[in-house]
Amino acid sequence: MLLEVVDLAVDLPTPHGPRRVVREISFFASAGESLGIVGESGSGKTMTALALMGLLPDGAVVSGRLRFEGRNLAELGEAEMQKLRGDRIAMIFQEPMSALNPLHRIGAQVAEPLILHRGLSKAAAWTEAVRLLDRVQLRDPAGMARAYPFALSGGERQRAMIAMALSCRPRLIIADETTTALDVTVQAKILDLLASLSGEEDMAMLLVSHDLAVIARHCRRVLVMYGGAVMEEGPVAAVLGEARHPYTRALLEARPRLGAPRGTRLRAIAGAAPSASEAPSGCPFAGRCPFTIEACRLEPPPPVTVAEDHLVRCIRVDELGRQT
Amino acid sequence: MSAPLLEVVDLEKTFLLARTRWFAPRPRRRAVAGVSFVVEAGRSFGIVGESGSGKSTVARAVMALLLPTSGEVRLEGRSLFALSRGELKAMRAHFQMIFQDPYGSLDPRQSVARIVAEPLANLAATSGAERDGRVAEALAAVGLDAASARKYPHEFSGGQRQRIAIARALITRPKLVVADEPVSALDVSIQAQVLNLMSDLQRDAGVTYLLISHDLAVVGHICEEIAVMFRGRFVETGPSDALLTAPAHPYTRELVDAAPKLGQAPLARPDPPPRAEATAGCPYAARCAFAQERCVGEAPALREIEGRRQVACHFPLAAAT
């Protein structure tokens, strides 16, 4: 197993004391596998990704086990983490304009991890950078390498970011809302590219997004997060096709669909996600769920296996059945 | 017959960009290159396009927030750009705007009551009591309780803030509401609340929307008519059901195919052969999988096809495909 996360919890310091933003989540990924984490803002999906990268904000407390290639990431020092980052684990961020340095040429930025982690000479790293830019299907890779970030379109920048992330052939690539800021036509092409490259290189891919449809198209397994906890997980076809958790179902029905009759009522989820000041002791979705009973608020719901490899954390999953 | 609610005629807007070197002529960019459309009362109109297509520029021109290079915007037959400042202010009661970002568009230091009442300042004197009544009515219409009026924006979630922005737009009882990406900054579960509210107001308060979005599903959900915009021009317009189920323009087809759908394998489509960016021909030709010789040499004009639709393509796709 390439990546094994067991009971990962993250506490962030706030003026009112520590607040748990990730509540004991567990998942695993093997080489060549694509795993999606879907959730809204505040669901803890980005904090989970940052915990894997060792990039959590100052003062964050991590507990649980994060095993990557047999080592526990939580026990590694900053120097060792730095060796892993960009080499064995790479991350592609949401906003390529702030992740790229505006003062350095694209080629130099793609070459940098090769010089740092692989000890290549500048010239060799540049040649490799041009080859990588070609791999991510940028037109005129040699010219692109000499360009500065401002000269590239959003889609081109994101391709350059992917080239940079792939440079050292990482075993795990984390894409956090990588294409959210892009147009739909560009988004589809970039994610297809990322999926096919990670397949060719036998990397594990962790795709973090708020968009269920993006996950549906590009991942094999999915975790649905809400309020820091995993609500439902399993193969994409099962979780999206036969969603059993009230939150997953609500998410699926909340979006307008192409071709549906105009003005059809959307199933809005009443209320808003729990705010920073309140930390529910029971199910995080209890405050908004139409099926909440008293027991839901008492303690976090344990996972219930509803089908092979399909887990749901809802104490009423059996009585609610398949219908809503 | 009375004049339509909104009529946009040959709208063009060219922006001057910064000089690339000293004394060089300033480069120009045509954001909107001749766009005409009519919005009838009760038939909401949506403009779909990618970033940079010029859709927000159209919205801003309709709101008279920018002066177009040429062209006309008529609201109930009256040309906006021929009005004096005072007349324009009085007209503003009839058309209001909802912006994309509910975090940036509400002044954090003003109470909700002041934010919502602000458009009333442009109207003939309203008494304090009447203003309070209108605020309560507008807040009720968007599903917020009257106590919210004394609160401040930071006390509300994203979806509630967008409701406040909608209440502000509604307080003058406008006929036309221009909404530029009203839900794209919101979480999925909150989007549904705002979209439901927008359809309710359409039905109950008789609001007509000019909705600008990159999201076909959102536009299709609210609007009766859709225009697809590409590089400053409309490439296809028509009733939304027909346009979304059987796109006639290859670009509309690309947008429909690229829209993320659940439980559907992506359509394999051939990547178009690389072509030089056409200057004389169809602006979409370089990306079009169906482009032919003629497309590179000659730009197609927007022309009528059956079913009150218009398409700017030499070889529109057959309805059956």
Min distance B268 CA to chain A CA atoms (Å)? 11
Pure H helices in chain A: 45-53, 78-84, 96-99, 106-118, 122-135, 141-146, 154-166, 184-200, 212-218, 236-241, 246-254, 317-320
Q: Which residues in chain B have Cβ-Cβ distances shorter than 8 Å to A275?
A: 157
The rounded distance, in Å, linking the Cα atoms of A171 and A310 is 26
The rounded distance, in Å, linking the Cα atoms of B60 and B106 is 18
pLDDT tier for residue B110 given thresholds of 50, 70 and 90:
very high
What is the arithmetic mean of pLDDT over B175-185?
Answer: 88
CA angle A253/A258/A260 to nearest 5° reads 70
Given an 8 Å threshold on Cβ–Cβ distance, is B196 in contact with A265?
Answer: yes
- The ipTM value here is 0.74
pLDDT tier for residue B100 given thresholds of 50, 70 and 90:
confident
Average pLDDT, chain B: 85
Min distance B313 CA to chain A CA atoms (Å)? 20
Question: Which residue of A251, A259, A275 is in closest CB contact with B188?
Answer: A251
Block mean pLDDT (10 aa), chain A, length 324? 92 85 90 90 88 89 91 87 90 80 93 92 95 89 91 85 90 86 77 86 91 85 93 92 90 82 79 65 88 90 92 90 57
The rounded distance, in Å, linking the Cα atoms of A270 and B193 is 8
Given an 8 Å threshold on Cβ–Cβ distance, is B158 in contact with A40?
Answer: no
Q: Answer for the pair A227, A244: CB distance below 8 angstroms, yes or no.
A: no
Q: What is the C-alpha end-to-end distance of chain A, expressed in Å? A: 37
| pLDDT surpassing 80 at residue B253 | yes
Inter-chain CB pairs, A–B, below 8 Å: 116
Location of structure tokens 């026990």: A75
Interface test with A, best of B189, B211, B240, B275 (most A CBs within 10 A): B189
Q: Count, in order, helices (H) and strands (E) of chain A.
A: 12, 12
Question: Which residue of A255, A262, A270 is in closest CB contact with B240?
Answer: A262
Min distance A236 CA to chain B CA atoms (Å)? 9
- Residue environment code for A272-311, b if the CB has 16+ CB neighbours within 10 A, otherwise e: bbbeeeebbebbbbbbbbeebeeebeeeebeebebeeebb
Enter the pTM of the model.
Answer: 0.81
Beta strands in chain B (DSSP E): 6-16, 28-39, 45-48, 70-75, 78-79, 95-98, 176-180, 208-213, 225-230, 233-239, 303-305, 309-311
Q: Which residues in chain B have Cβ-Cβ distances shorter than 8 Å to A178?
A: none
